[in-house]
Structure 1
Amino acid sequence: MLNFSQICVDAHDPTALGAWWAEFLGWPHRTDSDGDVVLTPPPGHGPEWLFLAVPEDKVVKNRLHPDFTPEDQQAEVDRALALGARRVDIGQGEQSWVVLADPEGNEFCILAAEQ
């Protein structure tokens, strides 16, 4: 049996990107002994996120991305944009979700609130 323990995110600046995601998600973060930034979710909210330093910038669309379901989609989109996210067009067309990118260009979606 496997335990899903971490999601690893390559980052040009793991300190800045980890801090951005920690603020967006409202999760505590720390730097581990390897210099990686670790975000710890509340119990029952998924695995840790680990931000790892890489020398190259992101250049293509993510093959894997997180989706978030808020109570108020527009409020969360506005909050993400105010923190430095940007809207991106990955060919999704008109959908009920909003595709955004973090400061290093990693895509994520904010879904419509559940009814």
Structure 2
Amino acid sequence: MDAVDPERLARWWAEVLDHRVESHSPREVVIGPAIDGHPRIVFLRHDDGHQAKNRLHLDLRPDDLDAELERLVNMGARHVDVSPPVEPGWVVLADPEGNEFRIIRPAR
């Protein structure tokens, strides 16, 4: 994932996903699960910032959408308006650098 500040964004996503920072350098930070496994996410320094629609976005499916939404907004995520209107089963947010992702209500 390109980032203006890979260290900050990687730490943010590590907290969201309950991952840990595995390695870091001035140009690259890698996060992964606390136990050995995949996937790992690499954050690369890219000084131009978020400029266009994401080519890839994450969908998070927490046990409690409302609680997770509150937690992520408190961490610095922001709501994103999408057109046409969003289905009631999911919410679109953006991380601190504007990368969009969805929180999806689990199927019952």
Task: Answer yes or no: same fold by TM over 0.5.
Answer: yes
Contact in 1 for aligned 2:18/2:34 (Cα 8 Å) = no
| Residue in structure 1 matched with residue 50 of structure 2 by the alignment | 58
Contact in 2 for aligned 1:61/1:90 (Cα 8 Å) = no
Cα distance change on mapping 1:92 and 1:13 into 2, 3 Å? farther
The structure with the largest strand share of the pair is 2
* 1:45 CA drift (Å): 7.0
Q: Percent identity?
A: 43
Does residue 1:102 correspond to 2:95, yes or no? yes
Q: TM-score if structure 2 supplies the norm length?
A: 0.88
| Residue in structure 2 matched with residue 74 of structure 1 by the alignment | 66
Q: How does 1:11-90 map to 2 (within 5 A)?
A: 11-32=3-24, 35-41=27-33, 46-90=38-82
Cα distance change on mapping 1:79 and 1:109 into 2, 3 Å? same
Aligned length: 107
C-alpha RMSD of matched pairs (Å): 1.9
Tell me the distance in 1 between the aligned counterparts of 2:62 and 2:91: 12
Q: TM-score if structure 1 supplies the norm length?
A: 0.83
Identify unmatched segments of 5+ residues in structure 2: none
Identify unmatched segments of 5+ residues in structure 1: 1-8
* 1:42 CA drift (Å): 5.1
* 1:43 CA drift (Å): 5.7
Tell me the distance in 1 between the aligned counterparts of 2:97 and 2:73: 14
* 1:94 CA drift (Å): 3.0
